[in-house]
């Protein structure tokens, strides 16, 4: 008998491109997600035979091919998929005909390379810190860069609940 592969519900919703894992956790906390008609506990795992719904509507896996876009984001564009909030958002600016989302983000006053995709699985592989992907930035600062500053930055910077590398 073949062992059935189980996937955490937040990972599933991310992989099918419905929303991010964090957004999925929020939906679950609000009781808006069901598995086979039942509101699950956080961390619940599903099989391919389970029916996942959000707000009563079944979530279906996309049958489309993966999309990968390399985009040189100009200054003034916001890396958000929330098209109702930001008028200068990256999604409207690109105008791709199907749902895509940025892998990571660049600040509004920044410009540079950013990738967009409809493949939620690759987003997690790229952004997860434990995968040790090197990132390089060219920045201008308006204060002197001292030896102490470089050493402090090299030891990591606390941001939200994480210390950067």
CATH number at residue 147: 3.30.2350.10
**CA–CA gap between residue 102 and residue 123 (Å, rounded):** 8
- Is residue 63 situated within a structural domain? no
Strand partners, 78: 89
Whether residues 133 and 72 fall in one domain: yes
**CA–CA gap between residue 152 and residue 150 (Å, rounded):** 5
92 carries an active-site annotation: no
Longest Cα–Cα distance of the chain, Å, equals 65
Report whether pLDDT(135) > 60: yes
Burial class for 10, CB neighbours closer than 10 Å (0-12, 13-18, 19+):
buried
**CA–CA gap between residue 82 and residue 89 (Å, rounded):** 7
pLDDT digits (tens, 9 = 90+) for 148-160: 988 988 888 888 7
Catalytic residue among 107, 119, 148, 161: 107
Residue 130 vs residue 125, higher pLDDT: 125
């Amino acid at each position: 008998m073949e062992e059935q592969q189980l996937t955490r519900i937040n990972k599933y919703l991310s992989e099918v491109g419905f929303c991010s894992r964090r957004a999925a956790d929020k939906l679950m906390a609000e009781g808006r997600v069901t598995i086979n008609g039942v509101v699950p506990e956080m961390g619940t795992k599903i099989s391919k035979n389970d029916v996942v719904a959000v707000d009563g509507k079944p979530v279906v896996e996309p049958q489309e091919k993966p999309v990968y876009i390399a985009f040189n984001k100009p200054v003034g564009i916001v890396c958000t998929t929330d098209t109702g909030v930001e008028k200068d958002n990256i999604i409207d600016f690109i105008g791709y005909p199907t749902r895509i989302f940025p892998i990571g983000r660049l600040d509004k006053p920044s410009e540079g390379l950013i990738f967009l995709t409809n493949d939620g699985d690759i987003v997690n592989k790229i952004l997860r810190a434990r995968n040790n992907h090197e990132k390089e930035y060219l920045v201008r600062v308006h204060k002197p860069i001292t030896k102490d500053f470089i050493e402090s930055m090299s030891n990591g910077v606390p941001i939200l609940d994480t210390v950067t590398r």
